[in-house]
Each structure stands twice: as C-alpha cells, then as structure tokens.
Amino acid sequence: MSGVEAESAGQANRVRCCVAGGGPAGVMVGYLLARAGIATLVLEKHRDFLRDFRGDTVHPSTLEVMAELGLLDSLLAIRHQELREIHAQIGDTEVQLADFSRLPTRCRFLAFMPQWDFLELLAAEGRRYPEFQLRLQAEVKDVVEERGRVTGVLVESPAGTSRIAADLVIAADGRHSTVRARAGLEVRDLGAPIDALWMRLSKRPQDPPQSLGRFDFGRLLIMIDRGDYWQCGYVIRKGRFGELRARGIESFRGDLAKVAPFLGDRLHELESWDDVKLLSVAVDRLRRWWKPGLLCIGDAAHAMSPIGGVGINLAIQDAVAAANLLARPLLEGRLSARHLEAVQRRRMFPTRVTQRIQVLLQEQVLDRVLDRDEPVRAPWPLRLFNRWPWLRRIPPRVIGVGVRPEHVRSPVREGRAGGG
C-alpha cells in the first residue's frame, strides 16, 4: 500500500478541525492542534510536498517557534544555509544592509532550506499524534454551509468526491484560496506593480560572496546562495513577462548579464523559458478572515509581496496564533465566532504593518527605478548603512523577527504521542 493510500485508509468523515491546504500554515496548525489532542485532518491537493521553488526562507522567529516545540535540532540537522548578514550591490557600491548578530533570538540567522524538507519534518512530527491526519491528493472543491455556518468541505480525491464534516474549517489553501472564494469572503487588493521570475544558475568557486541583491541599469536580481547553485529572482514590471518572452530567451540572458556580469559564463543553463518560473506578485488581504465555522490563515488571508521573503514566516505565525487561541475552545466544544475574530484581531496588525512597508517599497523604490536603463548610484540613506553599523540592526528586526512574533502557548495532549 502506498503512503498516500495508507493515509487515506480508514479515515472518519467527521473531524473536529479540517484544514484545507498543506503548506506552511496548514501543516503547522494541523500539527499544533493534533498535539493539543484535537482530531485534525489536513487536506492537500498535491500528491507530495515536492513542488517547484516557492520560497525556502526560515526566519529567526520561525526558528524560535521550532525551538519552543523542541524541533530546532531536527530542523537544523536538515541541509541548509545560514545567512547572517545581508549585502546588496547597488551600482558599483556594496551596501551592508543587515546584521543578524544582535537579534534577541536563539538563532541569529536566516536559514534557507527546501520548503518540502521543512513541511516533511512537521508532518512527520504530526504523525506521532493519533489525532493528526494528512490526506494527500485531496482537493477541497467547496465549503458546506448550513444556516449561515460552515460545517464542512467537499473534497475530490482519486477515490471520488466526499464530504468532511468539521466543527471548524481552516482555510490555509494559499493565495488562490478556493475556500475563501467559495465562502464568499471579500478580498481587498492592495496592488503590486511587480512580478518576479525565478530560476536556478550554478554556483562557481570564483563567484563573489553572497550579496542578496544586485541592482543596476533598471534591473534587480535577487541571488540566494543554495550551496551549489544560486536561486535567482529577477524583478520585472507587472505584466511584462509576455513582452520579455516575445523578445526571446537570448535577450533575457543579456538582461541578466548586464546586472550580474559574472553570471555570463553560465547563462546558457537557461535553455528555454521552461527554466524560468513566473511568480505573479499579489498583495491582498481579506476584510474579514472568518465566518462562523471557518477561519482563513496564511496566504489565504493575506498574500504578501516577495519583498523581505516574509510570506512563510507570517503563515507560521498565523498558525501559532490560531492554535493558541482556538485549541482550548475546540477541546472544550465551546468554539464561537468570538474566538475566530480574536485570531484576526491578533494577526491583522502585523499583517497590515508588513504589507504597508512592502507596498511603500514597491511604489517608492521599485516602481521608480525599474526599467531605467542607466547606471544606478546607491541613494544616500542606504550609503549610511555602511557608515553607521547600528542601522544594520533594524532590518533583521523587521524581516527576521517581524511585528508581534508569536510564541507557542497551545496545550500539549496528555500522555505519550504515538510512535512513528
């Protein structure tokens, strides 16, 4: 029997909590609730976690959560890279933007590891609790509502369509959330003038040391050191991908060479547009994250801009806050709208502040300088970072820890977790 079949066998169609989506928010909240003794079913539409690159950052505040759960050593045993300083190359000036060494957290670095390894670890820990179920190849198609209350979901899987009843449905199905759409929750679009193109390029021993961003001639290239390759993100004006494609891959390689000439010797690795993935950037959030019987968290509640790479961290923080506030009412069978509203109240402030900063940077910096095909000079406020080292402590606070970091307070089920 395959792992998927094994996980699908003998599952009840009634659970206390049903989570739509097995991304960072869904797997974390599923794990935390099961750990508290709440029968929780996580439904993920894909057959595994192995997906294209969709962000590999694990921030200091997420590492702090993992430490609180006793999982930090297991997490750091996974192959990863640690970023302790952030540099950017702006025109011909190297600016040291961030120094993580003074953070008030156990881990004073940003870790990079494949998202599927992170999710596998959490799911494996979840499976130690009999209350945790993860069903793969299970796509939520609709919500079931009775008298104005969400009471379950309709799920499509290779076995057919089924209905899952739950006291609470958590929508963690990402920024194109089916659940939030079917539940009729209103989305507020905050606008994003950019898109990002992601690709891999090999890393060579003679390459310059990691500099997170290279910015010149109206072009911005993010480069994340992943050991033997660079994970590269090239920022373009929204909607320009079609135009770029029409100009051909050779012309695109020329754009990359202009902003990072040292990559010139390996740009042939981008054989075709199949090697370049478009991330259509969206910044939005729900006006109301819940309705009776339903709560949205992570990207399903608020899609973030890639600026700062904070989407995963916010998703995890939402999951921790949701478990902190909902585990006891769920256990005691007294969950009400008041508890769901409390989760939104807790998480709205950090979401709003972070999105505000992202939108400001998008509009005031990126929108103004993208596509200006001329050499760039580092603006004076950024050059101050090289002169006054204390300034470099601010970005790690904002990016690495964020606004209102959460701590695990949800209860732990009494007795031993199951093996395995």
Instruction: Catalog residues that contact ligand FAD under the rule CB under 6 A.
Output: 20-26, 43-46, 53-55, 57, 139-140, 172-174, 178, 198, 279, 298-300, 304, 306, 309-313, 315
Cβ proximity to ligand FAD: between 86 and 312 the closer is 312
- Minimum Å gap between C-beta 274 and ligand FAD is 15
CB of 399 to ligand FAD, least distance (A): 10
Task: Kindly state the smallest distance separating residue 127's Cβ from ligand FAD, in Å.
Answer: 17
Sheet containing 110-112: give its strands across.
Answer: 57-58, 110-112, 81-83
Hey, CA dihedral for 309, 315, 318, 319, is it positive or negative?
negative
Kindly tell me which of 215 and 376 has the beta carbon lying closer to ligand FAD. 215
Scanning the structure block, which residue is given the tokens 């029997």?
Answer: 1
Cα 390 to its chain centre, rounded Å, is 29
Contact by Cβ (8 Å): 40, 16? yes
- Nearer Cβ to ligand FAD (173/216): 173
Residue closest to 174 by CA, chosen among 342, 24, 345, 341: 24
Q: Kindly give the pairing relationship between strand 160-171 and strand 294-296.
A: parallel
Q: In what order do the strands lie in the sheet with 187-189?
A: 187-189, 284-286, 302-303
In the complex with ligand FAD, the residue whose CB is nearer, 88 or 378, is 88
Q: Which residues pair with 277 in a beta bridge?
A: 198
Question: Could you tell me the smallest distance in angstroms from the CB atom of residue 198 to ligand FAD?
Answer: 5
Q: Least distance (Å) from ligand FAD to the CB of residue 414? A: 29
Smallest separation (angstroms) from ligand FAD to the CB of 269: 18
Closer residue to ligand FAD, CB minimum distance, 37 or 60:
60
Ordered DSSP codes for 107-127: --SEEE--HHHHHHHHHHHHT
State the Cα–Cα distance between residues 85 and 104, nearest whole angstrom. 15
CB of 55 to ligand FAD, least distance (A): 2
**Least Å from the CB of residue 390 to ligand FAD:** 26
Q: Residue 9: count other Cβ atoms within 10 Å of its Cβ.
A: 8
Name which of 232 and 376 has its Cβ closer to ligand FAD: 232
With b for 16 or more beta-carbon neighbours within 10 A and e for fewer, the 102-139 pattern comes to ebebebbbbbbbbbebbbbbbbebbbebebbbbbbbbb
Q: What are phi and psi of 371, to 5 degrees?
A: 75, 0
DSSP assignment of 73-98 equals HHHHTS--EEE-EEEEEETTEEEEEE
Our CB check for ligand FAD shows the closer of 57 and 89 to be 57
Give the residue with the Cβ less far from ligand FAD, 90 or 134.
134
Shortest spacing between CB 206 and ligand FAD, in angstroms: 26
20/376 with CB nearer ligand FAD: 20
Euclidean distance between CA atoms 144 and 151, whole angstroms: 6
